[in-house]
Chain A
Amino acid sequence: MMGTLSENRRAALLSVSMLVIGLLIWEAAIPAQQAAGELTEYELLTGGGAPKAGVPPPSEIFTKAWEELSNPFYDAGPNDKGIGIQIGYSIYRVLSGYFMAAAIAIPLGFLIGMSAVAYKAFNPFIQVLRPISPLAWMPLALFIIQDSELSAIFVIFICSIWPMLINTAFGVAGVRKDWINVARTHELGAMRTAFTVILPAAAPTIITGMRISIGIAWLVIVAAEMLVGGTGIGYYVWNEWNNLDLTSVIFSILMIGVVGMVLDSIFTLAQRAVAYAE
């Protein structure tokens, strides 16, 4: 019977069974864990004895998810907003920083890719700035910008600029000489050449850079929001941890994963659209 199913279906079947088995084991393990041993004095003091403090079983997380997702956009004061609003804030920050970075990285990458002199001139700066953890910029950003919202956006900007810059430069520098010669023998100007030959030729590499950048930006926004606080999914996770609401923590971790996956799949589509076979 397995032989008649396609590879994709078999894989999907396997995924679902792994998920179900994993959840069942998790569900089964929770009561056993809580029953194991008396609560220590420390646990009593820190509230470890309260029912919410333990790792929740999956059923509880599903209930929570149902609750949150059925009303994602409620707003009941600064510490009580729907998950949709929190994610919305994070996406807004990520996209603002990301598009600013793209607006600089892609034209600059073009320049660097087209000129050996520009490449050599920019390279030392790129090499020094690129390995810096984006969060290391946070104190400086907070001090100079004096605004936590903008500082978070700046951190996203600075972390997403490098993959796009490097990939654009790499893609542009690697455009086949023959294709440039085709443009030259047709007397195309610099702009026409850039848009009708170099851009489509380098697009797959550029989109790959953009995809790496959005992935990093989404990783970094969670950490940045934990630092600056206020709103956003990162702040939400941290806030629920402070409330010792592990059900919400696990639920929001899952949401972070889902949003990250959606962002990434947008770029998979874009990659497919610009791909070409030689």
Chain B
Amino acid sequence: MSFLSIERLTQQFPDGQGGMLTVFENASFGIEKGEFVCILGHSGCGKSTIMNILAGLAEPSSGVVKMDGFGVSGPSLDRGVVFQNYSLLPWLSALHNVTFGVKAREPGWSKAQVEEHSRKFLSMVGLEGDVVHRKPSQLSGGMRQRVSIARAFANQPKLLLLDEPFGALDALTRGTIQDELLKIWSGTEQTVFMITHDIDEAILLADRILLMTNGPFAKVAESVEITIPRPRNRTEIIEHPNYYAIRNHLVQFLGKRSKELAGQPSDGDNKPVTVRIDKTAPAEAEAEPEHAPKLRAVND
């Protein structure tokens, strides 16, 4: 059984005209311990809704989420969230936004311990010195995003949930923070579930990409393995024989098949189809792989 297993998750909302809108139905998928999974899908297909359910911030209409074999109910310190709009507390400095989380996680720690731990994680995302005493309103968008990532990582949750964490950033800042994220993640046992709209970002970061069809009645249709070894580097992965094959597959899906597959209600257990594209090992291509423990290394 997977570390995180999502079973027959269905979400309905009132559609505002007296009826019900089914966002997704019977979605089922699993995530292994230590895996980095990205989810791609068009706007409105229900990605944030799934993430809120995984975080325990919202209840699904039906279905269960299990982590380590136990049903998830309500939020927990074991599931850290980086919200799309950073959600820093504006009256606290960058440092205190992080200590806020650490204090909640480790009530027994001394003030000095909490602060040292928080500063360590802030410096991992490149925030050091006087900047940590600034309020969020005095930080740039990229800096706020880093504080938010530091806050989530400092709590060392088993599962990290990231909702379009780099959505508002320019390409350069994005690249730096992506590298920082990979660096922190690879030094831990953490599992990451990340929503993104950026195909290249997903290929760079993920072990596996989940693809969602358009809503309503959206499905997690495919699970695409990223068969590019780590450490990955944004300038070098494009040279890898698998890169364009995977990228084309994703573009095809989002551009065409997400529409074609959309809209049909079904009552089966909608497990995603595993897709493995590997040009380097033609004999194995398109085979259904067994989950092997993954090796990772730090990007540099």
Contacts and interface: CB of A to CB of B under 8 A. Distances in A.
B75 A187 contact: yes
A185 B137 contact: no
A41 interface: no
A85 B112 CA distance: 50
Interface residues of B, number: 23
B77 interface: yes
B91 A187 contact: no
A157 to B, nearest CB: 30
Interface stretch (B3-11, B78-86, B193-201, B203-211): B78-86
Nearest to B89: A179
Given A178-B83, A196-B100, A276-B135, A185 B75 contact: yes
A105 interface: no
Contacts of A203: 91
A186 interface: yes
Nearest to A176: B87
Contact of B55 (A185, A192, A200, A276): A185
A181 B87 contact: yes
Nearest to B76: A187
B90 interface: yes
A274 B90 CA distance: 11
B33 interface: no
Interface in B92-118: 100-101, 104-105
Which size bracket describes the interface of A in this complex?
Answer: 10 to 19
A178 B85 contact: yes
B57 A185 contact: yes
A111 to B, nearest CB: 22
Nearest to A276: B91
Interface in A183-226: 184-188, 192, 196-197, 200-201, 203
A278 interface: yes
Given A277-B135, A277-B137, A178 B91 contact: no
A216 to B, nearest CB: 28
A25 interface: no
A184 B135 contact: no
Contacts of B83: 178, 181-182
A278 B100 contact: no
A187 B104 contact: yes
A201 B83 CA distance: 18
Contacts of B55: 185
B87 A182 contact: yes
A186 B77 contact: yes
Contacts of B105: 186
A148 B8 CA distance: 70
B56, B83, B104 — which one has the most chain A CB atoms within 10 A of its CB? B104
A186 B90 contact: no
Given A185-B80, A185-B81, A276 B137 contact: yes
A278 B87 CA distance: 10
A203 to B, nearest CB: 8
A197 B96 CA distance: 13
Interface in A82-116: none
Nearest to A189: B104
B90 A276 contact: yes
Contacts of B87: 178-179, 181-182
Contacts of B57: 181, 184-185
A175 to B, nearest CB: 11
B83, B87, B105, B135 — which one has the most chain A CB atoms within 10 A of its CB? B87
A182 B56 CA distance: 12
B76 to A, nearest CB: 6
Contacts of A179: 87, 89
Contact of B91 (A181, A182, A192, A201): A201
A181 B48 CA distance: 14
A200 B135 CA distance: 14
A184, A185, A188, A196 — which one has the most chain B CB atoms within 10 A of its CB? A185
Nearest to B52: A181
B40 to A, nearest CB: 24
Interface in B114-156: 135, 137, 155
B195 to A, nearest CB: 16
8 contacts: A178-B85, A178-B87, A181-B83, A186-B104, A187-B75, A276-B137, A277-B135, A277-B137
Given A184-B57, A186-B77, 11 more contacts: A179-B87, A181-B57, A181-B83, A182-B89, A185-B75, A186-B105, A187-B75, A187-B77, A196-B100, A197-B89, A201-B91
The 3 A-B pairs of least Cβ separation, nearest first, read: A277-B137, A186-B104, A276-B91
Interface of A: 178-179, 181-182, 184-188, 192, 196-197, 200-201, 203, 274, 276-278
